[in-house]
Amino acid sequence: MPQFKVGYLIGSLSSQSINRKLAMALVKLAPSQLTMSEISFRDLPIYNRDFDADYPKVARDFKQAIADVQAVLFVTPEYNRSIPGGLKNAIDWASRPWGQNAFTRKPSAVIGASTGAIGTAIAQQSLRSVLSFCNSPQMNAPEAYIQFKPDLIADDGEVTVESTREFLKQYMADFGMFIERVHSVVPPLH
């Protein structure tokens, strides 16, 4: 199987985020052909098109990190029925200026955890809309809305519920197959 570099963005900036725990679990459960690395957006300033002519170094580095991977995994909480502002800001930086969108033709997947019964379903739909505009081919199935309960995922990323572990392992395997399909049909621009 071909090898792919996958960058993952964790929508919450909190060090105690349940989505950070979920991301750790997904990295552990990823098939061997996926090399996973976090792409942090913690230090990005608020996007403003006045920067388009001269991006600050932190934004150039962030955008380059997106360009350097072959797929992107979004692991996001739901804030007020949408994605966190920091994540939207990061997407704005990576997709601007017009014509220089780092997400174009880059396969993506969306997953998230919440303590609520519907997981992050509404935030994921919001994010999918943004990614559609960014021309990022998205893995639409399986969908994954994880209801997070205490001790579902240990601090080291170990999933303690067997059925959830198997589901997440299959989710990552499916993502690997999706990336391979997209790259065989829609070659990257760069």
**Number of independent structural domains in the chain:** 1
Which residue's entry shows tokens 């993506």?
Answer: 108
Amino acid (one-letter) located at 172:
M
In a domain, residue 190? The reply is no
In a domain, residue 83? The reply is yes
In a domain, residue 91? The reply is yes
In a domain, residue 132? The reply is yes
Where is average pLDDT lowest: 37-41, 42-46, 97-101, 110-114? Answer: 97-101
Helix, strand, or coil (residue 75): strand
- Residue-wise pLDDT for 142-185, tens only, equals 999 999 998 999 999 999 999 999 999 999 999 999 999 999 99
Percent of the chain exceeding pLDDT 70 equals 98
pTM, to two decimals: 0.95
Task: Provide the residue range defining the domain that includes 134.
Answer: 4-185
pLDDT score, position 139: 97
* Strand order from edge to edge, sheet including 4-10: 34-38, 4-10, 71-75, 108-114, 145-147
Sign of CA dihedral 49, 58, 61, 172: negative
In a domain, residue 140? The reply is yes
Q: Domain with 71 in it: what CATH number?
A: 3.40.50.360
Q: Could you tell me which residues come within 8 angstroms of residue 3 by beta carbon, excluding any fewer than 6 positions away?
A: 33, 34, 35
In a domain, residue 82? The reply is yes
- Residue-wise pLDDT for 5-49, tens only, equals 999 999 999 999 999 999 999 999 999 999 999 999 999 999 999
